[in-house]
Structure 1
């Protein structure tokens, strides 16, 4: 199978080469006419010679030339205007016809164009005025737009949409800033309220403990409202209130409490309060009976007593 495919490909290539080359008869005819030359047969195009046919050019120019008035043509050929800067500086100015311009100098080249346009305007304005052609735009002149009104309306709508989007963006930015500021103020207010609440609770506790006897904190401290730090509530000059005095009488006041019932050398040697009869339970029964009061019988005993009656 491989050999057959290779033979087919070689046959096709040979056929293409035969078709591309000329036959023997055609080659003989070309040799007889002198078209074939010894060496490589390469077709070379001969260079065309430039012909300066002045008469033909003048004839062509006369064919399309039209004798139109200058107003229809508006063509001017003139030299550049006088260089005022060079004249003011006193530099020697070359003749306008033989003025040399450095084409590599951009500034000099552009100035030459500018002066030539200036000279053209100075020459054209008087001619236009002679022809009664206005050279100034009237006050109520409106140039015709290159684009249609529909296109301009679309542009106007897009500009309005863009402006509205920018306004919305600015409003959203301001709202975000206001929200941030509002959150900050809200946090400060909550902290202030918590601080006032804490101060109120501490003042109430101190009042309950008797460290203060006035309820001024319920009405609000004016100094605290103004932002001045208030002093700690002090003990009243008149002394503690009745509740504190009762607690001091009952539980004691101040001093050392831990280890207050420990014996000392003096308390150990002091036996003045010692009673032997009381300590050993040898008190007289009469004294005990005399010390007792009549005890009321119980409920069941009283019921039985009533039943006996």
Structure 2
């Protein structure tokens, strides 16, 4: 191996060790002064490339992929927009060249008039070739989705609707349950309040603080007499007798004991009743023994006589 080859190998090894991305500006300057930097590492930009407008080449490329087909196969329409009879602000005769591209309204109106011109050009030609331009009333287009796919969609929609209905029913049941609990609590509170009020009224009556017994009737409406409307009907004779006999509330213990006044009152005493000398039937020994049962021997004698 010659000395020249060894130097070239050493230079290549030295160049391979140098990574331009990791070198600083000072190291780059030293490498440039030693001749270790070679052309191609630094690219000098001379500016943006200028695009060439090759008109003949573009036309040739258009002819290469263009096909000679009938108009019915292509249905392409290239026309100028319909002339605007009333221009902007009511001025007649606005030309296409006068349209401002930056004005959104004028630009959209230009597109509209161009589509209108295309329709006016295409419809007569289609009618000339006897091609219908309206869909018949009994036209049914083929669906893009299969019947199996639409059936799956229908089942999914039905399942979703049923889930929504179940959820709505559950909400209604919860609302009714909560309302029922609320009503039940109100009824119990009302009953407790009425019971407490009645107990208070009873205690007042027992202590003699009140002589009214309207609280015993509860919330039942008072019946009015037909002869005297507006007046309360008094108690019946039967009710008065029972009240007089049994009482109607108050203390009952010791109520039948004799007092000094009752002991001395003899207005209701009847000797005939007290000694059993009241009226009796003929042939009887007295009212006391009128219903007395005969003895066993007498009954046996009566039984033997009947045989």
Residues 158-307 of structure 1 aligned to structure 2 (within 5 Å)? 158-209=156-207, 217-223=215-221
In structure 2, the residue matched to 1:151 is 149
The answer to whether 1:103 aligns with 2:101 is yes
In structure 2, the residue matched to 1:50 is 52
CA distance in 1, matches of 2:250, 2:126: 119
Contact 2:205-2:212 within 8 A present in 1 as well: yes
* Alignment deviations for residues 30-49 of structure 1 (CA, whole Å, 9 cap, x no partner): xxxxxxxxx95238899687
Compute the displacement of 1:213 (Å): 7.1
Q: Which runs of 5+ in 1 are unaligned?
A: 1-12, 21-38, 225-239, 251-309
Q: Which runs of 5+ in 2 are unaligned?
A: 1-10, 19-36, 223-247, 260-307
In structure 2, the residue matched to 1:271 is none
CA RMSD between the two structures: 4.6
Change in CA separation of 1:221 and 1:211 when aligned onto 2, cut-off 3 Å: farther
Change in CA separation of 1:209 and 1:122 when aligned onto 2, cut-off 3 Å: same
* Alignment deviations for residues 200-240 of structure 1 (CA, whole Å, 9 cap, x no partner): 3334444545667786654545359xxxxxxxxxxxxxxx9
Residues 75-86 of structure 1 aligned to structure 2 (within 5 Å)? 75-83=76-84, 86=87
The answer to whether 1:41 aligns with 2:42 is no
CA distance in 2, matches of 1:203, 1:102: 97
Compute the displacement of 1:126 (Å): 1.0
CA distance in 1, matches of 2:169, 2:207: 56
Contact 2:83-2:95 within 8 A present in 1 as well: no
Partner of 1:222: helix, strand, or coil?
A: coil
CA distance in 1, matches of 2:146, 2:14: 62
Contact 1:213-1:241 within 8 A present in 2 as well: no
Report the TM-score when normalising by structure 2: 0.50
CA distance in 2, matches of 1:241, 1:95: 112
Change in CA separation of 1:105 and 1:146 when aligned onto 2, cut-off 3 Å: farther
Compute the displacement of 1:95 (Å): 3.1
Contact 2:81-2:113 within 8 A present in 1 as well: yes
Change in CA separation of 1:48 and 1:188 when aligned onto 2, cut-off 3 Å: closer
CA distance in 2, matches of 1:86, 1:51: 37
Compute the displacement of 1:194 (Å): 1.0
**Which of residues 125, 128, 134 in structure 1 aligns to 2:126?**
128
Larger RCO (alpha carbons 8 Å, 6+ apart): 1
CA distance in 2, matches of 1:203, 1:49: 112
Compute the displacement of 1:115 (Å): 1.3
Contact 1:102-1:109 within 8 A present in 2 as well: yes
Compute the displacement of 1:75 (Å): 1.3
How many residues get paired? 204
* Alignment deviations for residues 161-210 of structure 1 (CA, whole Å, 9 cap, x no partner): 33333323322332232223222211111111112222333344445456
Contact 2:84-2:92 within 8 A present in 1 as well: no
Contact 1:210-1:243 within 8 A present in 2 as well: no
* Alignment deviations for residues 268-304 of structure 1 (CA, whole Å, 9 cap, x no partner): xxxxxxxxxxxxxxxxxxxxxxxxxxxxxxxxxxxxx
